[in-house]
Amino acid sequence: MQRHIRDSLGRAIRARSFLYCALAALLFAAACHRSTQPNPPPEASRQAEGRQTLTGRVVRIADGDTLTLLDSSDTQHRIRLEGIDAPESHQAFGTQSKRSLSDMVFGKDITVFYQKTDQYGRLVGKIVIDGMDVNLAQVKAGMAWHYKEYEREQSREDRDLYAKAEDEARADRRGLWQDADPVEPSAFRKEEKRERQDAR
């Protein structure tokens, strides 16, 4: 009788040990599977729902916030960088801002996260390259303003990041903030428009 009980207990223990080993193996396999899944770039992972994605190579830089992208079907798309406003080409620091953007993306493959087209037919979106937010980088370098007039089109997180980046660039007198009284591009454009109208 005692031998029978010992045999039954031994079989139960072995069965339970087998189940534990099998469960551990399954958990290990699941963990390995998750670890091999590619993680999206940190900037790309924060995109709001409803945005569309476009990838391609940058073939032209118009100024510090506008570029042309060539996609895989050889179609060109003009892209306006969302959330920033860079100096006009003929404005102070316009050339430096254009060069800054060119150094980061010209001739390189980028991803654009966009949700609208502006009145000039340009896609308005965030440029990401190797996980870096190019729009934000322009503001950090003092090569563009945070375009607060359109900040509602940004996520709350991006609004805060861009505003902070502008404050820091201004405090450190980076780029265009070296000028004692830099003129915002939107004000510069309005003044130019007024002068053209007065000249008629």
Taking alpha carbons only, the member of 85, 77, 141 closest to residue 111 is 77
Q: Is 166 a catalytic residue?
A: no
φ, ψ of residue 166 in degrees (nearest 5): -65, -45
Q: Is 88 a catalytic residue?
A: yes
Cα 162 from Cα 160, distance rounded (Å)? 6
Q: Which two tokens stand for residue 83?
A: 């959330």
Q: 43, 80, 82, 166: which is the annotated catalytic residue? A: 80
DSSP per residue over 141-165, as a string? TTSSEE-GGGGGGS-HHHHHHHHHH
DSSP per residue over 78-144, as a string? EEEETTEEPPPTTSTTHHHHHHHHHHHHTTSEEEEEEEEE-TTS-EEEEEEETTEEHHHHHHHTTSS
Q: 88, 157, 168, 184: which is the annotated catalytic residue? A: 88
Q: Is 122 a catalytic residue?
A: yes
Q: Which two tokens stand for residue 76?
A: 């060109």
Q: 122, 159, 174, 200: which is the annotated catalytic residue? A: 122
Taking alpha carbons only, the member of 10, 106, 21 closest to residue 63 is 106
As annotated, the active-site residues are 80, 88, 122
